[in-house]
Amino acid sequence: MNTIRSIVSVVIFSTLGVGFSLPDTTQLAVAQSQGALAVIVSPSLTEKDISLALLKRAFRGDVTEFAGVRLVPFNYAPDDPVRVVFDKGVLGYSPTQVGAYWIDRRIRGQGMPPRTVPAPQIMKAVVAKLPGAIGYIPASMVDKTVAVLTVDGVALKAANYPIK
Amino acid sequence: MHIEQVCRRLSCILFGALLLLMAAGGHAQAPAEQAPVAPSIESATPEAPTAVVPTAPDSSAPVDEASAPAADSVNHEAAPEAEPEVDLSAYLGSAGASSSMPSISDPSLRFYGFADFGLRYVDHEVLRNFLGETPSFFLGNVNLYAAADLSENWRSLVEVRFTYLPDGTLDSNFKRVSTVQNDYANIGANLRWGGISLERAWLEYTFNGLLTVRGGSWLTPVGIWNVDHGTPTIIPTMRPFVVSSALFPTRQTGIEVYGSRLIHETTVGYHLTLSNGRGSIASYGDLDKNKALGARLYVGLALGDSTLTIGYSFYLGRNTETDLTVGMAGLQPQITLQHDELSMAGDLLWKWEGLHFQSELFSQQVKYTAAGAAAPPIPGPNGGVFSDFHKVGGYAVLGYRFAAIPIMPYIEGDMLFNNGAELSQPGGPNKVFTLVGGLNYRPIPSVTLKAQYARLMFRPLREETLHVNAFDVVAAWSF
């Protein structure tokens, strides 16, 4: 009986002692106003469609091949609104969860997070130049220097496009 | 009983107060800081020092007012068609833009680590003799990593743990070891030195997603807990007793090959290992001609909003210990212990939104060779030598991480059975059961606060069950 009482007291007392932190939804709402995000690669790649599962694998840090080349993912800073939308849509993680994920991964001795670039203009330039580079930009910034991939066969402008 | 109740309440009050302070701090923060991340990880990527993007939203150059972004928001507007050259060398590596296949990684050394500190109370008179009068504050792990991406395919990792040990441990005569020495750098002062434990050090080469070859000293790729490894990552305050009992070797020195592949939405992966196995010098020497083999196979399934990972591991090896004797032929090795070992394990990890369930089952079968059956410290019924034994154990952890509040209440149970016939058999008591309840609070990704109560029940061969209550409050952080 004392054992059960001890367990319950630790759990309940500690739970009541915790305040409420502002959830990540506010940041996500701001980020989602960015619209759809285009997944971009070099125009030299022959494949034009990528599965959401493969995209998730690449940006979770696992070695991923696509169209015969190893993908080199590029990200933005963790608090960038575009990054927030991408992480939620592809990884299913809030910014806090993303931070925890990469900390846990490096403690395990697994790979480091993708490199970051400061702006979509640089993202386009890197992706256009580096074979295997993969990134994402707001749909409004797409031009002919990069190729846009469909995701699970869904085009960027489709209503059911998953990353927006 | 009074001191026990006081300590229980002290642990609860201390942890609750700590959480209240964190909550108060959280309310005082600006909204933009409510979803903190660990900038030290992500900012490891070097920024291009000369990158110039005149059309960046925060540029000081005059822009069309119609497309001018709000001053306090980040808004990636469409860039004009003509863009000046951007220096991408920082992102493309040392090969720069001139190479047809630029390297994307410069050799970069990153230091990071984790540590933990806590307060522990154990209400068992015998254990207190080992751990000190409790409740006691303790500095647990202080681990430092040095990681380097040597090139696109080569990677290195070294991890060390700094520890106060062997200072304060009990020797075979139950005398406490003292490492106090005069500090030559501070006349009149004493220095208490500790030790460094090499957790792992390896070099690996990645051919592709299916094949990476790793050589060095690495953590045995068995199940979940041994890989999770660090206190900020694991959910409870300490590893389950069955995991601490090392039915698999915690680490090995040799070669590991691993890889994984995505098939539709299912990940299939493997690890294969070849090593010196277990032993007192296994980190740098093999005292027999048998190399240990190991493997892990796992499948990761995406089931709607949940993920399920199931794995199976095994280890097969021979453990040999020798002393050297001086004879007519000079120094000769004399086997003091030798046994063959087969260990198997199954693991399961299920995550569904905030729900987290993980479980592992272990089996270890040990068979002594004719030349290597050692005598136990206390003579038993098996003719004065250790008997073969079969240990079976497992644990399960169930927790739920709330979305709005980053706390996870959890419960855990673990057990370990040893059917060996000798007292003081390698591995300890005959049966162990543990029940755990606690709270894991991760206010920011780098910090994890935990409070836990554990009830341990040891049932050694005398059949008298020993009950131990343990209370822990731990702060674990990564840096």
ipTM value for the complex: 0.82
Model pLDDT, residue B427: 45
For residues B103 and B94, the answer to whether their CB atoms sit within 8 Å is yes
Coil, helix or strand at residue B219: strand
Instruction: Centre a 10 Å sphere on the Cβ of residue A98 and count the other Cβ atoms it contains.
Output: 27
How would you classify the pairing of strands A115-116 and B251-263?
unpaired
Per-state percent for chain A, helix, strand, coil, to nearest 5:
40, 20, 40
For residues B385 and B369, the answer to whether their CB atoms sit within 8 Å is no
Model pLDDT, residue B65: 33
Give the separation between CA A58 and CA B179, rounded to whole angstroms.
Answer: 49
Q: Which of residues 45-74 of A touch B (CB under 8 A)?
A: 51, 53-54, 57, 62-65, 70, 72, 74
Give the separation between CA A68 and CA A73, rounded to whole angstroms.
Answer: 15
Helix axes A2-16, B2-28, angle to 10 degrees: 20
CB-based contact A14 B16, cutoff 8 Å:
yes
Residues of B in contact with A51 (CB under 8 A): 264-265
Please identify which residue in the block is written with the tokens 């409050």: B473
Give the separation between CA B355 and CA B308, rounded to whole angstroms.
Answer: 12
Average pLDDT over residues A123-142: 93
Model pLDDT, residue B175: 87
Per-residue pLDDT tens for B172-231? 888 889 999 999 999 889 999 999 999 999 999 999 999 999 999 999 999 999 988 899
CB-based contact A109 B114, cutoff 8 Å:
no
Residues of B in contact with A68 (CB under 8 A): none
Give the best residue of B41, B198, B227, B261 to mutate against chain A (max A CB count within 10 A): B41
Give the separation between CA A26 and CA A40, rounded to whole angstroms.
Answer: 27
pTM over 0.90: no
pLDDT-derived band at A10, boundaries 50, 70, 90: low
pLDDT at B69 over 90: no
Residues of B in contact with A122 (CB under 8 A): 48, 51, 53, 86, 88, 91
For residues B171 and B177, the answer to whether their CB atoms sit within 8 Å is yes
Per-residue pLDDT tens for B232-255? 999 999 889 889 889 999 999 999
pLDDT-derived band at B135, boundaries 50, 70, 90: confident
Check residues B16 and A156 and name the one with the higher pLDDT. Answer: A156
Model pLDDT, residue B157: 97
